[in-house]
Chains A and B, each alone.
Chain A
Amino acid sequence: MANMNELANLVKELEEQLVTCIRCGMCQSVCPLFEQTRKEADVARGKLALLTGLMDNIFSDPDGVNERLNRCLLCGSCAANCPSGVNVLEIFIKARAILAEYKGLSPAKQLIFKKMLANPGTFDTLVAWAGKFQGLFAKPDDNAQGTSCARLVSPLLADRHFLPLAKTPFHKEIPKDGFRKKGKKLKAAIFTGCLIDKVFPNVARSAIKVLDHHGVGMSIPAGQGCCGIPALASGDRETFTRLVDHNLALFRQERFDVLVTACATCTSTIKKLWPSVYKDASSGVKEQLTELAGKTMDINQFIVDNVAPELSEAGATPDQAAEVVTYHDPCHLKKSLGVSAQPRALVRAAGCNLKEMSGSDKCCGMGGSFNVYHYDLSASIGQIKQENIAATSATTLATGCPACMMQISDMLAKGKANIRVRHPLELYAEHLENTNR
């Protein structure tokens, strides 16, 4: 391992961003992790101090800081609430990359990210295999979420209820060279995202149905890869860069007015992290990424703001007898992109009786790999969400991010709550279907 002085120099890259933290401590009021543990190293202020410590070269090895830095949901609640406007997520992501590059990725992560994720084809094949064999590992549970309990006692799976992979991933449903359809006015390119492709293909189908209904042209290029956030969250900038290059090349061949995704995490990654974290500044790629980011939008926002503004008025006086739906704000949608009214508008436009839960914008506890490595903490955070949902007596939970959909399904199944989990697009598409439109 190289010496700590070298690491200190690498962390200096973040100095201008690190000094903007005034140590006011206001982030303690919103950090879902701090709420559980009350430890300063778990909240943004503590982590930023630790990075400053690395920069000042006061530690003899990077492991302690690395471990604490990874105990974080990357939910951005701290950043959204920070009086000093500290760009906490970008700092954390870059710091994870610096540390991973310095330490070298663990062999397991190397296998997943470098060999599988970075190569969309291999990843798809492996996931298809896993889908065929998952019956061996999970027994179907008879519940509204359609989750499964882990059948084999595996320490990694614990008592998770995880959603089975779709029988056929979405990309298998569309033509080999992609899906394209002419519209009347605007044309949208769709970035599918891994979780929608492999676990929630119905969200993608609903997107097509809804955009088509409103006369929006579409193009879904084949061979899409992951947006890169799982690799990036583990500090693997190289794989991230390769995925960005791959996706960028794919979408540059298409003509479209906006790039939409139905996954809050993908949208915020494309808009915020693609341009800021992409390493090679000289290649001109950064400019292309900035341009693409400018054209990227959450699909709920696109439909309500750009395509059918009349929907924002829909369902102002809901039918009290209609299905009660409550909506969870994904962190990557509300805190990162400021989108919260539009998905709700779609739920109302779907004829549902929207009932707010308390703390609708509180993190669900998923946090990507946080859920894998800190399942107990993730579950205690999720339990608060589950209780808030149950208290509304809603029969459906809607949310605009498939990662939240997974976590909340697990939590609701655990709490034995008979509540289904849907994307607002699915509800709206169902409504269009039922009303024969």
Chain B
Amino acid sequence: MITKAIVDRLKEIVGPENVLTQREDMLTYSYDAAVLDAKMPAAAVMPGNTEEIGDVVTVCHENSIPLTVRGAGTNLSGGTIPENTGLVMLTGRLNKIIEINEADMYAVVQPGVVTATLAAAVEAKGLFYPPDPGSQAVSTLGGNVAENAGGLRGLKYGVTKDYVMGLRFFDARGNYVKTGSRTVKCATGYNITGLMVGSEGTLGVLDEITLKLIPAPAARHSLVAVYDTIDQASETVAAIIAARIVPATLEILDNFTIRAVEDFSKAGLPVEAAALLLIEVDGHPAVVKEEGEKVEALCKKMGAASINVAQTDEERDKIWAARRSALSALAKLKPTLVLEDATVPRSKIPDMVKSLQEIAERYQIDIGTFGHAGDGNLHPTILTDKRNTEEFHRVEAAIEEIFDRALALGGTLSGEHGTGIAKAPFLEKEAGYSSILFSRQLRAALDPKNILNPGKITGVSTD
């Protein structure tokens, strides 16, 4: 329990203005972007530096207080929904870019730095930080690392885990742990960095993060291909990969999404089309030209009804604006939006798309599908109104079936949104009981009092 004495101690550590306990404020830290029931914490703190983070963790350890770290609270799996008796640690004040090292191509940041802020700072120096989740304008790098966030460029450039070189974090007892290095190679000790990426605040509180940077691509080439059947689109994806071309981005929009985007943005999209592929290749100008032509030829060969190549930066922006507005356009249709991210091996995209259509029909619900076709990570987006309990039950059943189909196709429950609370009950289906047991033992050993974000990933909350 967070007693008055503990609140006073927290105020000593971070300053009274950075400790919140009023019920109104607690309500605002009771939810994130996942469609789950909210849960109010007992208090929230905003530390301003490493020492303060450490002291707060120590207070939690000494008093067995559940601790949930919150970045921008945009995760889609309930990772920041706290315990009622718990403390929420906000990283909003920890938002400094400590270093951008051009010679060795890395950046060191505090965990509360916003993804897009780093991307812009790095770009200004001619470098590139590729992971670009759709939420990058607000998401924090701490949240990205803790969720192993992906983005549109995953196919060629990988996801957050491919860019984390080193971390500094506080473990459950308040000890400061340093992992990884600022070198490209590092072979000392366990790969604790790898373990921490995607750990959703259950193994430690991230402080400094060292991220790999790469040179910015010199040229880009974007196109849109229009298809009469979704199979032709999926087959094009397979053909591009088979031709050993790795586009930076290879996205698909289904008919439902195309119509929603067109209604919303009047961008002139073909509303009759069954699917659109949005493709971008980047790199050395000569290679980009060659690959661009090959991709175009493949789209034609696989039956694209038409192809539109961006000739100018403006046209390129227009293509990607259509993709970026997919979620907004769908969100406007109904009050509740459940954004899933079940992922399958990319050769199985046609089967997955078909499954989604069947599921939508069987459960009589609206599903718009778009996403990262190139890496098998689709975003079936279910539109509903959670106040309509009868329909919401059907939605839940449909989600479970989406999971089952993805697993049957050799896929995973989540490509990038994490386990959190939302997928914890289903994890065993994917990984098996031994894997859950191993994870629980790992946690128990590192965090005997179970204070670090209880209930996430491995299930079992303390409340």
In the complex, A28→B70 CA distance in Å? Answer: 14
On chain A, the residues within 8 Å of B114 by CB distance are 29
Q: B32 in the interface, Cβ–Cβ < 8 Å?
A: yes
Contact partner, B33, options A25, A29, A64, A68, Cβ 8 Å: A25
Are A26 and B138 within 8 A (Cβ)?
Answer: yes
Known: A19-B335, A23-B33, A84-B328. A41 touches B135 (CB 8 A): no
Known: A25-B33, A38-B90. A49 touches B27 (CB 8 A): yes
Within 8 Å of chain B (Cβ to Cβ): is A316? Answer: no
Q: A26 to B331, Cβ gap below 8 A?
A: no
Is A26 a contact of B387 with CB atoms below 8 Å?
no
Number of A-B contacts (CB under 8 A): 84
User: CB distance B27 to A53 under 8 Å?
Assistant: yes
CB distance from B118 to the nearest CB of A (A): 14
**A50 touches which one: B24, B33, B137, B335 (CB < 8 A)?**
B24
Asked if B332 CB lies within 8 Å of chain A CBs, one says: yes
Contact A64 B23 (CB under 8 A): yes
Chain B hits for A23, CB < 8 A:
31-33
A53 to B25, CA, bound (A): 11
- What is the chain B residue whose CB lies nearest that of A26? B138
Chain B, Cβ-Cβ closest to A82: B328
For chain B, the bracket of interface size reads: 35 or more
Cβ of B45 to closest chain A Cβ, rounded Å = 12
Would you call B332 and A85 a contact (CB within 8 A)? yes
Q: Which residues 379-434 in A have Cβ within 8 Å of B in the complex? A: none
Say yes or no: is A4 at the interface (Cβ < 8 Å to chain B).
no
| Residues of chain A lying within 8 A (CB to CB) of residue B335 | 19-20, 22
Among A8-22, those with CB < 8 Å from B are 19-20, 22
Report the minimal beta-carbon distance from B139 to chain A, rounded to whole angstroms: 8
Q: Is the CB of B28 within 8 A of A83?
A: no
Q: Are B46 and A38 in contact (CB under 8 A)?
A: yes
Interface residues of A in 25-42 (CB under 8 A from B): 25-26, 28-29, 38-41
Complex contact A40–B327 (CB within 8 A): no
Q: Which of B28, B137, B385 contacts A26 (CB 8 A)?
A: B137
How many Å lie between the Cα of A39 and that of B27 in the bound state?
A: 12
Q: Is B92 an interface residue (CB 8 A)?
A: yes
Q: Which residue of A lies closest to B137 (CB)?
A: A29
Among B33, B46, B93, B95, chain A packs the most CB atoms within 10 A around the CB of B33
Closest to B325 in A: A83
Asked if B74 is at the interface of the complex by the 8 Å CB criterion, the answer is yes
Q: Judging by beta carbons under 8 Å apart, are B331 and A25 in contact?
A: no
Query: How far, in angstroms, from A41 to B29 measured CA to CA in the complex?
Result: 9
Residues of B within 8 A of A68 (CB): 24
B19 to chain A, nearest CB (A): 12
In the complex, A28 Cα to B335 Cα: how many Å?
20
Chain A stretch 49-107: residues in CB contact (< 8 A) with chain B: 49-50, 53, 58-59, 64-65, 68, 83-85
Q: Does chain B have a CB within 8 A of A24? A: yes
Tell me if A22 and B328 are in contact (CB < 8 A).
Answer: no
Complex formed: what's the CA distance from A85 to B329 in Å?
9
Contact present for A26 and B135 (CB under 8 Å): yes
Query: In the bound complex, do residue B135 and residue A65 qualify as a contact, i.e. CB atoms below 8 Å apart?
Result: no
**How far apart are the CA atoms of A22 and B331 in the complex, in Å?**
8
Write out the residue numbers on chain B whose beta carbons fall within 8 Å of the beta carbon of A50: 24, 27-28
Q: Chain A nearest CB: distance from B127 CB in Å?
A: 21
- Tell me if B135 and A84 are in contact (CB < 8 A): no
Q: Does B337 contact A (CB under 8 A)?
A: yes
Contacts of A39 in B (CB 8 A): 20, 25, 28, 92
B27-A83 in contact (CB<8A): no
Provide the bound-state CA to CA distance between A85 and B260, in Å.
14
B74 touches A24 (CB 8 A): yes
CB B68 to nearest CB in A, in angstroms, measures 14
16 contacts between A and B (CB under 8 A): A22-B336, A23-B32, A24-B74, A25-B33, A25-B135, A25-B138, A26-B74, A26-B135, A28-B72, A29-B138, A38-B46, A38-B95, A39-B25, A46-B28, A49-B38, A84-B328
Which residues of B does A touch, CB under 8 Å?
Answer: 20, 22-25, 27-33, 38, 46, 72-74, 90, 92-93, 95, 112, 114, 116, 135, 137-138, 327-328, 331-332, 335-337, 385, 387
